[in-house]
Amino acid sequence: GAVVSQHPSWVICKSGTSVKIECRSLDFQATTMFWYRQFPKQSLMLMATSNEGSKATYEQGVEKDKFLINHASLTLSTLTVTSAHPEDSSFYICSARAMGRFYGYTFGSGTRLTVV
Amino acid sequence: KQEVTQIPAALSVPEGENLVLNCSFTDSAIYNLQWFRQDPGKGLTSLLLIQSSQREQTSGRLNASLDKSSGRSTLYIAASQPGDSATYLCAVEPVLTQGGSEKLVFGKGTKLTVNP
């Protein structure tokens, strides 16, 4: 089945630094990938849609300059949290779909970001 | 705006019991509905995908039904085991509207505990 690999699984960084999270589709090509954020005991909140070769589409209220998304190839999307602050601490999950709506979405294993 | 509701928010059952998790959505214009499982601190694992034209899907001890017209889906788990303990999330993919973008809309989940 379709596999999405996400790295790192956890990261601790100092306030003011930047952190990059990678999301790879291992056995399929994904022109579109999705980035979610999940707060404790809450459901997933879609942050942005990553489009291969073009700019990402951000959901309302998500800061484009804080959460930089790059989708440089059909198998890799990255999310960079810039100038991280403690309030950016959260669980970030990426997702992709193999081919069209006949297939469901596959999710990465998530990244726990802690900003100290 | 599509909204997804899951009831109950939490459920605790003894091992071996059959159980039903409920999901409702406000707009029947969907492409599909997907059930996921999330273990603590982990990403999402897809359990079942039901296309809008389908009524149910089965995988092992899991059976999911979809009644699109009434905006309801159920996930039936037979002979529950302690390993089934997790949060179960329901998500729908709304039909694209003009200017809209591909996305999933999630419920807040049902936290299931199966006691040995």
pLDDT digits (tens, 9 = 90+) for A32-79: 899 999 988 788 999 999 988 888 999 999 999 999 999 988 899 999
**By CA distance, what is A93's nearest residue in B?**
B43
Strand A57-58 vs strand A67-73: parallel, antiparallel, or unpaired? unpaired
Chain A partners within 8 Å of B104 (Cβ):
34, 46, 95, 105
Check: CB of residue A23 under 8 Å from CB of residue A52: no
Dump pLDDT digits (tens) for A4-34. 999 999 999 999 999 999 999 998 888 889 9
Note the pLDDT of residue B99. Answer: 67
CB contact under 8 A, A93 and B44: yes
Dump pLDDT digits (tens) for B19-39. 999 999 999 999 999 999 999
* CA distance to partner chain A, nearest, from residue B1 (Å): 14
Count of pairs with CB atoms under 8 A, one residue in A, one in B: 51
Q: Own/partner pairs for B59-66, CB < 8 Å, 24+ apart? A: B62/B35, B64/B33, B64/B35, B66/B33
Dump pLDDT digits (tens) for B54-95. 999 999 999 999 999 999 999 999 999 999 999 999 999 999
Note the pLDDT of residue B85. Answer: 98
**By CA distance, what is B109's nearest residue in A?**
A43
**By CA distance, what is A40's nearest residue in B?**
B41
Check: CB of residue A96 under 8 Å from CB of residue A105: yes
Note the pLDDT of residue A93. Answer: 97
The residue that leads in pLDDT, B35 or A2, is B35
Chain A partners within 8 Å of B101 (Cβ):
49, 57
Rg, chain B, Cα only: 14
Non-local (6+) Cβ contacts of B99 within 8 A are none
pLDDT at B50 over 70: yes
**Mean of all residue pLDDT scores within chain B:** 94
Note the pLDDT of residue B100. Answer: 67
